[in-house]
Chain A
Amino acid sequence: MILSQFIFVPLLAAFLIVLFARKKENFAAAIALAACAWILIVSFIAFFKLPSHGGMILNNTSGWKIPYTICLILDNLSSFMLIVVNLVAFLSAFYAIQYINHFTGKWNFFALFMLMLTGMNGVILTGDFFNLYVFMEISLFSAYALVAFGTESEELEAAFKYATMGAITSTMILFGIGILYSYTSTLTMADVGLQLRSGGTPKMIFLVYGLFIAGFGLKTALVPFHAWLPDAHPSAPAPISAMLSGVLIKTLGVYALVRIFFNVFGAPTVVLQILMLLGTLSIVIGGFLSIVQWDFKRLLGFSSVSQIGYVVIGFALGTPLGILGGILHLFYHAIFKSLLFLDSGAVEYATDTRDLRQLGGLSKELKVTSATNMVGTLSISGIPPFNGFFSKLIIIIACISAGQIVIGIIAALVSIVTLAYFLKVQKHAFYGKKGSAKVLEKVPFAMKTAMIILAALCLISSAIMIPSIRKNYLNPIVETVMGRTSYIDKVEPYLDNGSVK
C-alpha cells in the first residue's frame, strides 16, 4: 500500500490544473474529479485491506527510518477518516462542476480545492508533529483563499478574520511542538509519546496541553474559539462550505485532538474534563445562536458549532460507548451537514439570495433541493431511522452511563433546539408563504446528483449500526482510540534506536 499517493495525487492534480486548465476551463473539473475518484477508491481499498496488515501500515519516506524521517501511518482511525474526507470531497467536487459557473476563475477554485484536500489527507496520515503542522497550514491557507473566493467585501472580511485567528493559533501549535521537541529531541509522534512515558510527566506538559487545546480548539470551532466559523463558512462557495463544515473542522480539529491527546499523551483526565466543558458549551451556545439567524448558511455555520460539540463530548467521555458515538457522529455529521450546505448553495444558485426572510414556498419549484433538505433536517435533528438518531442516541446513553447525567440531558434538550431551528428553515425557505425571492435558474444536474447521493447516504449509513458490521468495522476504530498509547507500542518496532545512519 503506497500511502504517499493520498498526498501526491491531489498535489499533482492541483499543479496540473494550474498548468493546463487556465485556457481550457473544463480540464480543471475533469482533472479534479479524476484525482478525487482515484483517492476515494484507494481509501476504500486501504480500509478493507488494513486488517490483513495487522491494523497498521507504516511508510517511511526518503529511505530513512523513523525518527530520522517523516513517516506516514495508516491505522483504523486514519483509514476511516480518509474515507469520510475523500467521500465528501468527491461529492463536493462533483457538485462544484456546475455550481462554479457562477464564478470566474474555475481553475483557481479547483486548484485550491485540491491543495486543501492534500493538506487534509496529509494531516490524517502523518506520524510526525512538524509534518502535521505543515499539512495543516497547506489546507488552512487554501481554505483562507477559498473563503475569500467571491472577493466581495463581506467575504474578504471573513477570510481576513479566519486567517488572523488561524495564524495566531497555528503559531500556538508550533510553539507547543517546539516545547515538545526541546524536551524530547524528536518530532515523531510515537517517539515523543515513548519519551514522555519513560520520563514521567514534566510540568511543561501542561503548557503544551493548553497550547494544543487552544490551537486545535480553534480549528474545531469549540465555543470560546468559534467566532471565525459563522463568518467564514457562509462566505465560501457552497461546495467549500460543505468541505469546511463537513470535514475540515473534523480533520484539523477533532482528529488532531484525538490523535495527539489520546494516542500520544494517553488521554490525561484534565484535558478530557476541559474538552467536556468546551463541548457542552459549544452544544448549548451554538444551538441557541442558530435559532436567531436569518441567513441560511450562517444558521448552518452555528449549527456546526453545536454539532461538533456532540462529537467532542463523545470523545471526551473516554468510554468505549462515548468514543463510538463520537466517531459515528463525526461521520454522520460530515454527510448531513455537507448535504445541508449543498442545499443552501442550490437555493442561492436558484434564487440569488440566502436570506430566509425573502425566501419561501420553494418546495414546488425546487423539488430535489427541498426533498433532500428535508432528509438532512430529519437526520441532523435525530429522527429515526435517519443516521443522526443513532449517533446522538449513543452519545446521550454514553453520557448517562458514564455518570454525566446533566450533560446527557443538555445534549438531549439541544437536540430539540436543533429540530426547532431546522423547522424554521423548512418553514421560511421551502414551505410557508411565498417570499419575495423568485426562482431565476434551475438547479443543474450535477448539483442535484450530488445532493441525492448524500441524502441516500443519510439513510444507508445507518446500516453501520447493524451489529455484525459494527463489530467488524467500527470496533477496531474504537479500540484504536480506546487503546490510547497502544498506538506507540505499534509504532515502536519501526523505530531505529541505534546511532544516526
Chain B
Amino acid sequence: MRLSGGKILMECLLEQGVDTVFGYPGGAVMPIYDALYAYSDKLRHILTAHEQGASHAADGYARSSGKVGVCFATSGPGATNLVTGIATAYMDSSPVVFITANVNEDLIGKDSFQEVDIVGISMPITKCNYLVRDVSKLADIVREAFAVARGGRPGPVLIDIPRNVSLATAEYTPLPKDEHHQSGRLGALVRRASHDLRPPEPDQGDIDQLANMIKASQKPLLICGGGVVRGRAQDEFMALANRIDAPVAITLMGGGGFPGKNPLTTGMIGMHGSQASNQACDRCDLLIAVGCRFSDRVGLRFGSFAQNAQIVQIDIDRSEINKNIQTDHHIIGDAAQVLSLLSEQFPQLDHSAWKEEVFSFPTETQYDDHSDSLTPKEALSTIARMLPERTIVATDVGQHQMWAIQHFHFSYPGQLITSGGFGTMGFGLGAAIGAKAANPDQTVLHITGDGCFRMNANEMSTEAHYNLPVITCIFNNGTLGMVRQWQALLFEERYSQTTLDRGPDFVKLAEAYGLKGKRVANVADLEAALAEAIASNTGYVIDCAIDPDERVRPMVRAGCHITEFLAD
C-alpha cells in the first residue's frame, strides 16, 4: 500500500511492537504527529513538559522493561533538547530510538528557521544515526535502527526525517519483525558481520581457559556490571557465583544484576564502594568482571587496580577490552550465554577462607544515628520497610543517589534506574514516569535531591495528566550535597555556589501541578506521608528535611588507590 512517510513510520513502530511513545510536537514534525493522530488507538503518546523529560522517560521505559524506548521531537531546539537524554542513554547502554524531524530538504544548510544538524551533533552519543532523504528507504532504515538499538551492546539511535520526506509517499510492504534481518540494510549488516542468520557463539577455547583460571584461583572475585542488567543475565550470573563460591562486588550500573541481599554480595565497588568490595578487589587473585567497563569511578587508579589479581573481562563490546584496565584474558559474548557455558566447565568450588577474609570488612556503611533530625539512613530504611519489595527505584544524581544505592537491596534487573555514566542531574523524574508507563502495576519510587528535582520538576504535569503516579522523596538538604561534600573535604569548606537556600516550596509546587505533597522532618511523619502516598492514586512528593552536613561514606578520591579511603 502507498503511505506517507509519517504513516510508514507508524507502521514500522507497530512492526516493532511499540505501544508507547514519548515526545513533543513542533513545526517540522507536524506530518509525523498528523500520522500519529490516525494511529492514536494503537500508539499511546505521552506528551511531556519538555523534550528532555521525554528523552529520559523513553530511557526509563527502556531500562525498566528491557524493550526499546521511542521518543519524538521536532527540528532545531526540539532536537537539541534531547541531547542530554541521548548522551545519558548512550553512556549507560540503554536502547532508545530517537526520531527527530528536520526542515524540508531544500531548506537544509540555509540556516532555516528551527534548523540544526542533529545528525552531526548526535554522532558521538549514538550507536549510529540516519538522515532519511528518500521516503522509499524509510521503512528499511527504521527496521535497521531498532535492531541496532537493541542488538549487541544496546544504545541509542537517532533517525532524522526532513519534513518533506515525512509528507512524501512510498509503497509500504508490511514485514514481520523476525524477517527483517533477511533483506535490505539489515540483511547486508548481518552478512557483513558473517553471521549465519543466528546469533554468534562465544569462543569455547576462551571459556576453557577461564575455567582453568577459576580452578587454579584461591581468591576469586566477581564484578557484576551493567552488562548483566542489560543482558538480563541474572540467573546465569547467580549460578556462576554460587558454583565458584566467590564474593560478588556490584557496580552502580550492575544494581539488580545480583541480589543485594545475597550472602555473597560485598556491596557496591568503587569511589563510594563498601570496604568489603574495595578490599576484596585489592586482595583477590582472580577478578572476573562481567559487563563492566572499569569506568574511572570503579577503577579509580587504573595502574594499581586489582594489583594482585589476574583480570578477566567478559563483555559483548570488544572495544572495552584493555581500554581502561589491562586484562589478562577476555571472553566476548552475550553475558547469559557465556556464563551458562562457563558454569558447566568446573565442579562446585569452596572458598570459605577467602570469603571469611572478605566479609571481615563491612559490606555496608555504618551511618550514625542522630537524635533529632532525619538522617538519610533512617529515611531510606523507613522507605524500604514501607514500600513493596519489588518497587522500582529511579534516582537523580548526587548524595541521595549513592545513599539510595548503598541502602536498597535491588533484586532484579530494571529495578534500579539511575544515570551512572553520564551523571545527569534531572534524569530521575522523567525516567520514573517512563518506568511507570512500562510497569503500571508496580510501585515506582523516585529518590532525588532538591537541586536535581528543581531542574526538571515540570514533569510533574506529565505525571499528573497521564496518572502515572510516582512517589518522589526529595532529600532536601538545601545544598548541592555531593559538591558540598567535596568542597568540605578537598576545598577547605569553601562552599562556592552550592548553597541552595531558595524556593520553591516543593509541597505547594506539587499541589500546583495536581499532585499531593508533605514536608517531613522525622521518621514518624515520613511513615505517615508514605502511608498516604501508597493509599492515594496520585503522584506524591515527600520533601524530607536532611542535615546539609550528612556525607556519603566511604569515599575514595578520584585517581587514588581503591583502598585509600578519604572518609570511612
Is A bound to B? Answer: no
Residues of A within 8 A of B (CB): none
